[in-house]
A and B are shown apart, each in its own frame.
Chain A
Amino acid sequence: MRMSVPLRRLRQAPRHLLVCEKSHARHARSRHAAHVRDHAYNCRVSFLIPECGTLPEVLKSTIADVGEYYLLRNLSLHELVTHEFIDTFVKKGSCHALTYNTKIDQDNTAALLPTGKLILSVDKDTYEELGLQGRPSQYSGKKVMRYIITIDLMDPSFHPDSKKHKRVLWALKEKKPLEFDFLLAWCNTGAEGSTLMSYFPKNQIQTLKPKITFSTLRDLQCPVLQSNELQGKPEESCSTEELFEWLGAVLNQVSLDNKSFSFLSTYCCPQPNTIVEQAFLCTITGFIIPEAIIQLLEKLCCYFDEPKLAHWLTLTVHGFADSPVSWRESEHGFHKGGENLYNFVVFRNLDYWLQMAVGTNDDCPP
C-alpha cells in the first residue's frame, strides 16, 4: 500500500552514492591514478596494513615526503588573480588553494584548482555585487541562492591587458573585496622559483606540517576478500559494502565483537573473517595534494613486491566537506553531510578495488 507523503518523508534518508570499481593496478588503462589526481582537496589519508608490525623504510620516507602546506591568513582574493601570482605559481607547477573555515552551505567559498581554474561559490548577494559571470548552483533549489563563478587563470585570453582580466581584478579589488583564510599547497615540477613563503608577507603566511599518527591494532578481525568478487560470495568472501562499513568501524575504534542480543550494539565484523595478530594503521591529516597520494599508493603497491602475509591493504582518503568541487570540476555541496571520500583496497596480486562515496549534493564520481 502506498504511504502518505508526510509518513514517507519520515522514513526517507538523504540521497547518496557509492561507486565501486575493480581493476588491476598495472593495467595499461587503469584509471586509479587519474581518480586520485582528479580529487584535488584531501584532508586526511589513512592506510591500514594487516599483518604488519613495523613500517618498511620506503613507506616511512614516503610519508615524510608528504609535503608541507601553508596557511594564509586574511588574503584578499584579488591577489590570486594578479599576474605576478599566476606567472610565478599557477603556471609553474600545480597550485592548490582552498578557503579554510568557510562553510559551503552558508559562507562564500573559493578554491584554486591545479588546472588553474579559480572557483568561487558565493551567495546571491555577493554574486550580484561582484558582477562577474557565473551560473546558478546545481543544488540551490527553485529559488537560486548560490552561484558558482569559474575563472580560468590559464586561459590565453586572460592576459594582463585583457578586458576580462581587468574586470575580474576590479570586481575582486574594488567592487566587492573578498577576504579569506586560505590553505595553500604548491608543488612545482623541477624548475626553481620563488617560494610561497617569500612571496607573501611573513606575518600572513604560516608553514604547516601534516600531522602523522601511527598505531598498531592487536588481534583485529579482518574480513576475507576475493579480488575478483566485488559483491562477495556467501561463506567465501565479503562484499565491498561490508568492507567499507568494517573499515569505518576500525577507523572509528568501534568494537567488532558484539553479540546479536547485546543491548548496546549489534555490529559485528562481516563473515567470513580471520583474526589478524596485528595491523598497522597510519593517519596523515592536513592539506594533502593528490601527487603525494599517488606516490603513497605506488609505494603501497610495491609493498607486495616481497612476499607478505597480508592479502590486501587499504588506503582511505577523505575530501573536504566544504570544497566547492569533489572530483574534477563537478560541483560539491553540503546537505546533511559533505562527505566525499574514496578508498583503495590493494590486493596482493595488485588487483585493486576503488570505492568512491559522495553525499546528497554531489555528482556521480567519474
Chain B
Amino acid sequence: MVRFKNRYVLCEVVSEDPRCRQCIEDRAVGLAVREAIARAHGDYGLACCSVSFTVKYLNAYTGTVLLRCRKDFYRLLCSALPFVRQLESRNQRYPCFFNTLHVGGTIRTCQKFLIQYNRRQLLTLLQNCTNEEERRSIRQSVLSCSLTEEQSQSGDEEDDDDTETD
C-alpha cells in the first residue's frame, strides 16, 4: 500500500474587524477557500483540491487555520489563498485575508512551526510595548507558552518530517 501524501497549509486569518473572529469556523473557512479555488482554477482546480481537502484545525481566538490537501495539488491551493477576501457565516460577512505561514508535510511540523512562530511574535510584541502593564502581560504569556511546550505533546501524524517552506 502506498500512502497518500498530503500537504498541510498553515495560515492565519487577518481582519481589521474584531467581529470577524466569530466567522472563523470550519464551514465558513472551507467554503471561502473552495470558492477562491473555484474562481482562480475553475472546476478542474476545485476538483483536484477537493480530494482529501479539510480544515484540519482552527483557532478562532488566534485566527490560525490549518488546511489539508493532496501533495500533488497544494500549489493550486496556495495560489488561490490570496484570493480569499471575506468570510461569511450566519448571514454576516466580514472582509479579511489569509496569510500563509507555512506549508508542511505533517501536522507535527506545522505545529512545531506554529509554536516557534508564536514565540517569535511574542518577542516582537514585547519589543513594541509602550507601558509596563503591557510588558508584564506579554512576559507572562511567554512563560506560559514555554511551559506548554515542556508538557510532552505527541504529534498526531506519522513521523514524517518532509517539510517544505515557501
Contacts and interface: CB of A to CB of B under 8 A. Distances in A.
Nearest to B72: A4
Interface in A25-70: none
Q: Which of B72, B73, B76 has the most CB of A within 10 A?
A: B72
Interface string A1-32: 00111110000000000000000000000000
B48 interface: yes
Given A4-B73, A4-B75, 11 more contacts: A3-B75, A4-B71, A4-B72, A5-B72, A6-B48, A6-B72, A6-B73, A7-B72, A7-B73, A7-B75, A7-B76
Contacts of A4: 71-73, 75
Which A-B residue pairs are the 5 nearest by beta carbons? A4-B72, A6-B72, A7-B75, A5-B72, A4-B71
A6 B73 CA distance: 8
Interface of B: 48, 71-73, 75-76
Contacts of B48: 6
Main secondary structure of the interface of B (DSSP, over half): helix
Interface in A249-271: none
Q: Which of A3, A4, A7 has the most CB of B within 10 A?
A: A4
Interface of A: 3-7
A6 B76 CA distance: 12
Nearest to B76: A7
Contacts of A7: 72-73, 75-76
Contacts of B76: 7
Contacts of B73: 4, 6-7
13 contacts: A3-B75, A4-B71, A4-B72, A4-B73, A4-B75, A5-B72, A6-B48, A6-B72, A6-B73, A7-B72, A7-B73, A7-B75, A7-B76
Contacts of A6: 48, 72-73
A4 B7 CA distance: 12
Nearest to A3: B75
B34 to A, nearest CB: 19
Contacts of B75: 3-4, 7
Nearest to A8: B72
A7 B48 CA distance: 10
A74 B75 CA distance: 56
Nearest to A5: B72
A5 B72 CA distance: 7
A7 B71 CA distance: 11
A112 B48 CA distance: 49
A3 B76 CA distance: 11
Contacts of A3: 75
A183 B73 CA distance: 51
B102 to A, nearest CB: 16
Nearest to B44: A10
Contacts of B71: 4
A9 to B, nearest CB: 10
B63 to A, nearest CB: 27
Nearest to B166: A1
A308 B161 CA distance: 73
B4 to A, nearest CB: 13
Contacts of B72: 4-7
